[in-house]
Amino acid sequence: MSQGQFGFADVPEWERAARDAVLLAEVVFNLPLERPYTYAVPDGLRDLLRPGQRVRAPLGRSNRLVTGYCVGVIAGERGQRPLKELESLLDREPLVDPSMLELTRWIGERYLCGWGQVLDSVIPAGVRNKSGTRELQYFQLSEQAIELLSGAGSGLRLSAQQRVILESLQRAGQPQTAAELCALAGTGPAPLAALRRKGLVVPFRVRSELDQESGPVGHTEQDLLMNAQQQRALEAILKPIRESRHETLLLHGVTGSGKTEVYIQAIREVVSYGRQAIVLVPEISLTPQTIRRFRSRFGSVAVLHSHMTDTERHRQWQTIAAGGVHVVVGARSAVFAPVPHPGLIVIDEEHEPSFKQDSTPRYHAREVARRRCEEARVPLVLGSATPTLESWLRANRREDRLVSMPQRVADRPLPPVLIVDVRTDPRVARGSSIGRALHQAITRTLQERGQTILFLNLRGYSPVVWCRTCGTGVKCPACDITLTWHRDRQAVVCHSCGWTTDPPQVCPACQSPAVRYLGAGTQKLDEEVSGLFPQARVLRMDSDSMSKPGSHDEALERFRRGEVDILLGTQMIAKGLDFPNVTLVGVVDADTMLRQPDMRAAERTFQLIAQVAGRTGRGERSGRVLVQTTSPDDPAVRFASKHDYVGFAGHELSERRDTQAPPFSCVARVIFRGLDERRTREAAIAVADRLRAACTGELQSLRVLGAAPAPIVRLRNYWRFHLQICGRTVELVRQLWQAVERSLEMPEDVEFAVDVDPINSR
């Protein structure tokens, strides 16, 4: 379905041009359907309906009324087969603009889900429910006006007064009401009306209470004087900005190389053109420290995170859409921030798996950002010390531009990383988590008044509840997962569904009382460390201890103030922290990542060691890293100990090439789930057979693996089966899926979801 089909027509003009024509609306629903439905537009809605508004329309044989999104208004001819009519219109104004409509259409196609599903996920609930609030009309510069003002003359003739209005609006830096604008420019209303007719200023509606909030641009701190390496990186980003073209730049900079300062100065350029920048960071890095770094440089920064109420989110969305902020900082979904004139998108820590959404639409923010930047003809910057192999391969093939920052700021050395083989460690043999070398290192760090970070990727007290008699793990009754012992709560917990119960007195399988707790999670580590170093102040950070809102930030502040000697926790503490007094980082068990049954286990282990190593040696004091493992010869561990990303990437890519695994191919995973095991399995097998049968002609090179039980075959009482489609390109995979999808007949009680480029293999 091509974009041209759904022109964003000006309704009154249509009316004049074709008085006899029937007006048709293309409507998509929150359903996994690829094509829009066509409805006749009743006369009463002709002048009001525009793409981007919600409508209610009869659907299916029962004609029940369902809310959908109008995605196009087209002229049809009389005499076509009778069509159903739209019932009503829900919004006075479109909720999204044409560029966002096109982006969401693309996401549906790229990730094999419904356009309506994408729209429903992208538009915040608070925005959808805004109907009925009092609105004020503001004016902002159009894209064309910005080009005109930047000297890219478009041959439009302007009167002197019109030009003064445009310049005043640009100087104001945010939308103005008609009255404010005329006062600023010292003109009457006529020139403004003329500019509006020429499409150089466009109205934008915001709720009246925003009035006081968007306020003047606040105090800003001075930029840092950049070193030569940062200067080079900045120049590389400024080039496409100044040439108004898209380019994706992979900023490969070691931890502490000063990437953030490069982003900030690139954003400064973009803001000076009256455009806005979006900075995506992992949710976990949205700390006050990060936000302060941007707020102190740019007055108007909007922050989007997942803990906002609908009302807050709606207000932010409106402010952003009105051009009221220069910079948007947020987690994954901020890639959809409705900035009117995007000038740059930055994705920091682009390797983070949280940039992929784990529910429909299962998009990756990096690919959505790439598409959005291509359409807007602006650059995309991906920053990381440990880029994904997907991004690394693209840069090596010159599809994206590689910019390297191999040195830390002020020539601080990267910390030495010591690999400790714990297979022969006497303390570990006795059941301790802290081996001899790590014990000595912590002791010395405490004596030298440095701070220590200990990383362990398992929460709870004991990650395995085990029966010694029958030799099986005690599993959650709803999931195929062994339970974790949480000593603080005196309960066993399922980490998949949250099911919690008293610790079992006897094994549920064989009734033996020989139930034991094996392994160590962060709670047990906390207990051990506190016992070994009674004089030290220890703080545990994991999702159990940090469940109260704000506790995460508060804990980091205490650590920063030096009120904590040893910070231990899960990946919560592995990312982005910048504390100069951390002189020791210990990875308690590197094997937990390495042993995952996942094609990215090596990549994740390398990233993890490199990232935690990046938490030390960031200040005047030097730091060091100890990694405890039983696989000291594993390539991921060896390369990480040498800080050799390039070596690791080369090694891992050659393995992936040999097996034609991503990024050398595209995979789509189809997950089936249902309460009845047999019907779910049979449905999955039937779809796999249909797909295999369709692998003919142009699609001959595709492979379909499975159907097979998913790695977690039961989750929250649902049985799970999956299959994988593997092809050379995403286009081929899409063609195969679409060849089969339309005629799929699933049992009522079996659902499926498609995951393109899956990174979660559960």
Sign of the dihedral defined by the CA atoms of residues 154, 158, 160, 163, in that order: negative
Question: Please, which of residues 504-523 interact with Zn ion by CB under 5 A?
Answer: 507, 509-510, 512
Three-state SS for 306-369 is CCCCHHHHHHHHHHHHCCCCCEEEECHHHHHCCCCCEEEEEEECCCCHHHECCCCCCCEHHHHH
Q: Which residue of 261, 526, 652, 741 would you call a contact of ligand ADP, by CB under 6 A?
A: 261
Interhelix angle 522-532/436-447, nearest 10 degrees: 60
Of residues 358-417, those binding ligand ADP (CB under 6 A): 409
Least Å distance, CB 290 to Zn ion, is 34
Task: Show the binding pattern over residues 34-53: x = contacts ligand ADP (CB under 6 A), - = does not.
Answer: --------------------
From ligand ADP, Zn ion, none, interface partner of 496 (C-beta below 5 to 8 A by class): Zn ion
Name the binder of 499 from Zn ion, ligand ADP, none, CB < 5-8 A by kind: Zn ion
User: What minimum distance in Å lies between the beta carbon of 576 and ligand ADP?
Assistant: 8
CB 724 within 8 A of CB 660: no
Binding-site member from 1, 9, 224, 653 for ligand ADP (CB under 6 A)? 224
Report how far residue 234's alpha carbon sits from residue 237's, in angstroms, rounded to the nearest whole number: 5
Q: Which of 51, 94, 114, 258 binds ligand ADP (CB under 6 A)?
A: 258
- How far is residue 576 from each of residues 160, 256, 346, 631, measured CA to CA in Å? 51, 9, 16, 27
Q: Does 255 bind ligand ADP (CB under 6 A)?
A: yes
| Residues in binding contact with ligand ADP, number by CB under 6 A | 15
Per CB under 6 A, the segment of 195-203, 248-256, 317-325, 714-722 that binds ligand ADP is 248-256
Q: Establish if 227 lies at the interface with ligand ADP (CB under 6 A).
A: yes
SS3 assignment for 557-622: HHHHCCCCCEEEECHHHCCCCCCCCEEEEEECCCHHHHCCCCCCHHHHHHHHHHHHHCCCCCCCCC
Query: Residue 257 binds which one of Zn ion, ligand ADP, none, with CB within 5 to 8 A depending on kind?
Result: ligand ADP
Residue 578 found at the interface with ligand ADP (CB under 6 A): yes
CB atoms within 10 A of CB 314: 20
Touching Zn ion, residues 442-471 (CB under 5 A):
467, 469-470
Among 9, 164, 226, 478, binds ligand ADP (CB under 6 A): 226
| One residue of 116, 256, 435, 521 binding ligand ADP per CB under 6 A | 256
Q: Are 253 and 346 in contact, with CB atoms under 8 Å apart?
A: no
Selected from 187, 248, 260, 445, the binder of ligand ADP by CB under 6 A is 260
Please state the closest distance from residue 349 (CB atom) to ligand ADP, in A.
9
The least distance separating Zn ion from the CB of residue 716, rounded to whole angstroms, comes to 6
- How far apart are CB 329 and ligand ADP at their closest, in Å? 14
Confirm or reject binding of residue 252 to ligand ADP (CB under 6 A): no
d(C-alpha 489, C-alpha 500), whole Å: 10
Q: Which long-range contacts (CB under 8 A, 24 or more apart) does 42-49 make?
A: 42/85, 42/86, 45/86, 45/88, 45/89, 46/11, 46/15, 47/11, 47/12, 47/15, 48/11, 48/89, 48/92, 49/11, 49/23, 49/25, 49/73, 49/86, 49/89
**Count of residues touching Zn ion (by CB under 5 A):** 14
Cβ 669 vs Cβ 599: under 8 Å: no
Choice from 181, 322, 493, 494 touching Zn ion (CB under 5 A): 494
Amino acid at 348: D
Binding site for Zn ion (CB under 5 A): 467, 469-470, 476, 478-479, 494, 496-497, 499, 507, 509-510, 512
Binding site for ligand ADP (CB under 6 A): 224-227, 230, 253, 255-261, 409, 578
